[in-house]
Amino acid sequence: MDFEDIQYCRVVRNGRILEVTLNRPEVMNALYSPAHFELSRVWDAYAADPELWVAIVTGAGDRAFSAGNDLKATAAGVKREYVPDGFGGLVSRFNLQKPVIAAVNGIAMGGGFELALACDLIIASDNAFFALSEPRVGLAAIGGGMHRLVRSLPMQTAMGILLTGRRVTAQEGLQLGFVNEVVPAGQAMEGARRWAAQILECSPVSIRTTKTAALQGLSATDLESAFRTQYPVVMEMMESEDFIEGPRAFAEKRKPVWRNR
C-alpha cells in the first residue's frame, strides 16, 4: 500500500515501527465509513509487511485520540457502510498477530475507547479520559467495547462504566488495569515508542506466538485446557531461525540478531 495515498490518517515508518495517526482533528478524530475502510487497508499492509514488527496508533492534535463515530456526518446523511474489520479497521480484526499500541492523547470515547481496547497496550497522557458513552445517545457499545471491557475488568467494575457511560480518567484506567502507563500531557507517543522499543528487543516470531496463543487460550474452559491445547504458532516458533538465534546469542553473550523467520 502507498501510505501517501491516504486521506483520513497519517502513516509513518519509524524503523520497525508503523506509526498511524488518525487525522481528523477538526472533529476530534471522529471516524466514519470511508476512514474505517482506509484504516483497514493500513492494517492489512502492516500485517503483510515482514519489515514492520510493532504499530502505534494515536490521534492528531492534543485534544482527542478519537471521539468515536462521526455522528454529525451521519446526521448530514453520509451513508454508513458495513466495515468487516470494524471501527478504525481494527476492533473486529481478530487475526492480527502483530502488536498494536494505543497512544491515547486526549478523549477516547465510544468507538475511540473501543479502538484503544482493541490494541494490546494503552499508553495514556494524564489529560486523557475514556468513556463508552453510547447509552447516553440511545446507542450501545457494539463495536466490541461491551465484550472487551467485561473480559478486562471485574464484572461490577465494567458494568459501572458500561451502564453509566461515565468518563474514566487515565489515572483511574491505570488503577483498574486497562491502561499500562500514564505519561504527562503531550508525551503519549514518546511513551508508546518506549514500550515499542522494549517489544523490539524480543524476537518478532516469539511476540506473534505469545499474542496469538494467549488470546486463543482465552476460549478454553479452564487453565489446564488452555495449557494443553496445541497451538500451530508455537510449532512455527520452534521451527524458526529465531528459536535457534536466541539461545545462541545468550550463550555467546551478545545481542540476538532476529531474522523474523
Q: Mind listing the pLDDT tens digit for each residue in 154-212?
A: 999 999 999 999 999 999 999 999 999 999 999 999 999 999 999 999 999 999 999 99
Assess whether pLDDT exceeds 80 at residue 79: no
Kindly state whether residues 98 and 216 are assigned to the same domain: no
Active site residue 4: no
How many CB atoms within 10 Å of residue 219? 9
- Please tell me which residue in 134, 172, 201, 241 is annotated as part of the active site: 134
What cell numbers appear for 166 in the block? 461515565
Domain with 233, as residue range(s), is: 204-251
Residue range 2-17: mean pLDDT, rounded: 88
Kindly state whether residues 21 and 111 are assigned to the same domain: yes
4 inside domain? no
**What whole-number distance in Å separates Cα of residue 75 and Cα of residue 69?**
11
Assess whether pLDDT exceeds 70 at residue 77: no
Residues in contact with 209: Cβ distance below 8 Å, sequence separation at least 6, in sequence order: 231, 233, 234, 236, 237
Assess whether pLDDT exceeds 90 at residue 5: no
What three-state secondary structure class fits 42? helix
Total of domains in the chain: 2
Kindly state whether residues 171 and 138 are assigned to the same domain: yes
Active site residue 114: yes
Kindly state whether residues 149 and 229 are assigned to the same domain: no
Q: Which burial class, exposed, middle or buried, applies to 194 when counting CB atoms under 10 A from its CB (0-12, 13-18, 19+)? A: middle
* CATH at residue 19: 3.90.226.10
- Please tell me which residue in 38, 114, 201, 245 is annotated as part of the active site: 114
Kindly state whether residues 136 and 234 are assigned to the same domain: no
pTM (predicted TM-score): 0.94
Please check whether residue 73 is in contact with residue 26, taking contact to mean a CB–CB distance below 8 angstroms: no
Residue 261 Cα to chain centre, angstroms: 24
Q: Mind listing the pLDDT tens digit for each residue in 132-163?
A: 999 988 888 989 999 999 999 999 999 999 99
